[in-house]
Structure 1
């Protein structure tokens, strides 16, 4: 897989990192909406069979769905090109993902389902999990699934609806929360791993994943310590699989205990390890919870560069004693390299819509961009479902890493709730 990507990248004159591709393509969507064409908003609400065919499957609504498919397909193809993925595989995979996503949105649009407060992301994830675990999908199919890319495009578009002043207010509190939670959870997780006699590589990756931002943190840590890819793959599987019940049940727990949307959003954003799962859980609670949870998660993501730099220094001076290691000491450039660039896109979108556009311009594109944002989020969760295999939990590592991860995650949930309550309550 890695060799194929390298060869593909060599043949292309213009290759971007995934985060920069996300920023570029998100602003292509925004500027096309503002100055070229406002994409129609498909309707998915229905009550009965007659209603389904009259509203959802009407000629006008089907044309809106087709337009949305074509636009997202084109953006996805450009993303595959810029990030050096195999376009011929993407051309096959994306329509499958879109069809599953479309079915999920139609199911979620039923009036009876809406009463249960079940959003489309729950169904897209469920359908993806069923297909991904019942059928033996080929490696080339899974290799072009782009859950992180899809959800980050949706997050940059979310910036168009978040007032910049809210970011400054929630972001400052979120950064305080992130510092408190990341430090306490990381040290607890690392201490627990050492008590269970896990090796240093696995301990570092697991501690970073559970405390900072899940998959991205695990990958950054593995890169900093030149970790074993098999151990990294196992940690990523743990993150993805445990995020699923957390994103489904935590919003209902918050509702049961009567937490405010601000506290709930901060709790979700600080404790759920994947950005996509944070978005899905925030959506289940409400608009305010979605915005707060996203900003808090961004605050944790911002710390990723600093964390990778600190881990690089620790590993170089304590574990690597060779001359080769001494010649490749980490520099401050690690901080910028690991900084999540899509956060810049989110902030830029918020600045644009907060200060530079008229209310008339915003009102013309608001519903369309909201619909486009939603489709990218739901596409992301279809992809997560297709990528996730429960069999990955059966590992030669044994049950100790799983036990350590779950216990550290429980500690994370409790400490984050306490901090969120005092800061956002």
Structure 2
């Protein structure tokens, strides 16, 4: 899963964070849905329009009910609400509350500043009408989501050029928590997008599940073989490496380390590598997809989910890929409906998250009963699957189900504004995730910890076959499938 290893590192700490993410995401989404009953509880959340003149860029999401706040007031209200909510969550995980609150305030300012800069028309204007509106003859056509890339790069610069400042900010750099909340909110956003196209969505889910099973039966075995035979790693190292590189990064490496009872340092070092290479993939793969898969958007979407090895980075890559491909298609006169590319990437990653808990149990059973057999040692029990199950996915399921039911029963006008407000918060949590991922990626420090040989295994496995096998399988299952056209 995403980002960095949790402070406590173990299943209990991750489980608490999962429940917190599910609770926060559900609370925010239900607050948004109050708008369907005429009570707008989230209209104060700040939005940023594409701009040339910065004075008019910021505004509250609901200008009718909350317009009196103004853009600056909406930004302060958003910061204040998230500060209170996330400080309480940090306290529940044992963080130093005062330090978290201060660090989060600075992190939020830097992250949202990146989004603001990414919304400049030279970066974000896409259509000829937008270019004409701002009096421009060219732009990079990244849409506002180019701000995600700026946030990632800003985090990387701070981590590697200003390590002391980065260390101080780390108290608030919690990419796993932020991306899990974002994914819970994403459940409701996706449901409204697919409400009128359930048959098409069901087909995508079946294709995604088939792709995951095929990919990971190949991935894990090959990476394990490479680590053992080519590089001489012991089983204790090879198994977490295989899971981290092939399944889902940090969570898979830690779950595998716990399943086979490896030393604590093993999955931690593997997790550090996962974060570094996930950043590289986010900076590289969406642009390869734009160059070579512009007419196969859902192949590109599934590829991000199968190839990028953390939740945060994979969903981030899906978001960037969607922005790039939608803007390129729009420039050619084709307007695909937003949400399907990102939704496909997110769905693939969610099924992979579920797969982690099952795979960890399988490995625990094999190691306990056949490889590392010790007298009197308790055998792995099926309940371990539940213990290792990523609980935040339950929040995603609930928001998806509630929003789908409402979308099928209410009028589009009733549901549109509340879901748009929830989506605005989802974007902000994505933004915090991007910045945090960059902030936790100090390349020099990781190299000094002796990751050279591990990194070589990662390079050979990831760029030698994992990325390309993922691309081939994505092509097999999603070739020729495109998102619905926007109405």
Give the TM-score of the pair, scaled to structure 1. 0.90
Query: Who is 1:66 aligned against?
Result: 76
Which protein is richer in helix relative to its size?
1
1:227 shift after superposition: 2.0
1:279 aligns with 2:328: no
Distance 1:139 1:257, change over 3 A: closer
1:159 shift after superposition: 0.9
Any idea what the Cα deviations from partners look like across 1:364-392, whole Å, max 9, x if unmatched? 31221111110001011111122221124
Query: Who is 1:112 aligned against?
Result: 122
1:22, 1:342 within 8 Å by CA — same for their partners in 2? Answer: yes
Structure-to-structure mapping, 1:342-421, within 5 angstroms: 342-356=392-406, 358-359=410-411, 360-395=413-448, 397=450, 399-410=452-463, 411-421=465-475
CA distance in 2, matches of 1:74, 1:167: 37
1:33 aligns with 2:32: yes
1:80 aligns with 2:115: no
Query: Who is 1:44 aligned against?
Result: 48
1:104, 1:124 within 8 Å by CA — same for their partners in 2? Answer: yes
Name which of structure 1's ranges 213-222 and 129-138 shifts more when overlaid on structure 2: 129-138
Distance 1:295 1:167, change over 3 A: farther
1:20 aligns with 2:19: yes
1:80, 1:90 within 8 Å by CA — same for their partners in 2? Answer: yes
Distance 1:167 1:145, change over 3 A: farther
CA distance in 2, matches of 1:82, 1:226: 27
Distance 1:32 1:112, change over 3 A: same
Distance 1:65 1:140, change over 3 A: closer
Query: Who is 2:111 aligned against?
Result: 101
CA distance in 1, matches of 2:261, 2:428: 36
CA distance in 1, matches of 2:49, 2:25: 27
1:395 shift after superposition: 5.0
Query: Who is 2:161 aligned against?
Result: 134
1:422 shift after superposition: 1.1
SS of residue in 1 equivalent to 2:435: helix
Give the TM-score of the pair, scaled to structure 2. 0.79
CA distance in 2, matches of 1:146, 1:131: 16
1:167, 1:295 within 8 Å by CA — same for their partners in 2? Answer: no
RMSD after superposition: 2.5
SS of residue in 2 equivalent to 1:267: helix
Query: Who is 2:180 aligned against?
Result: 152
CA distance in 1, matches of 2:184, 2:425: 11
1:303 aligns with 2:339: no
2:19, 2:392 within 8 Å by CA — same for their partners in 1? Answer: yes
CA distance in 1, matches of 2:286, 2:57: 31
CA distance in 1, matches of 2:87, 2:439: 19
Distance 1:211 1:194, change over 3 A: same
Match of 2:152 among 120, 125, 129: 125
> Displaced runs of 4+ in structure 1, greater than 4 A?
137-141, 395-398
1:157, 1:349 within 8 Å by CA — same for their partners in 2? Answer: yes
1:16 shift after superposition: 6.5
1:317 shift after superposition: 2.6
Structure-to-structure mapping, 1:166-177, within 5 angstroms: 168-177=202-211
- Runs of at least 5 residues in structure 1 that lack an aligned partner in the other structure: none
Query: Who is 1:254 aligned against?
Result: 289
Match of 1:220 among 249, 255, 272: 255
CA distance in 1, matches of 2:152, 2:429: 13
Query: Who is 2:225 aligned against?
Result: 191
Any idea what the Cα deviations from partners look like across 1:80-114, whole Å, max 9, x if unmatched? 13333332221122101101111101110101112
CA distance in 2, matches of 1:172, 1:84: 40
Any idea what the Cα deviations from partners look like across 1:314-360, whole Å, max 9, x if unmatched? 2213443332xx43211101111111112221121111111135234
1:91 aligns with 2:104: no
Distance 1:39 1:47, change over 3 A: closer
- Runs of at least 5 residues in structure 2 that lack an aligned partner in the other structure: 61-68, 125-138, 323-338, 480-487
CA distance in 1, matches of 2:347, 2:50: 33
Name which of structure 1's ranges 237-246 and 396-405 shifts more when overlaid on structure 2: 396-405
Distance 1:345 1:53, change over 3 A: same
1:5 shift after superposition: 6.3
SS of residue in 2 equivalent to 1:94: helix
Query: Who is 1:328 aligned against?
Result: 378
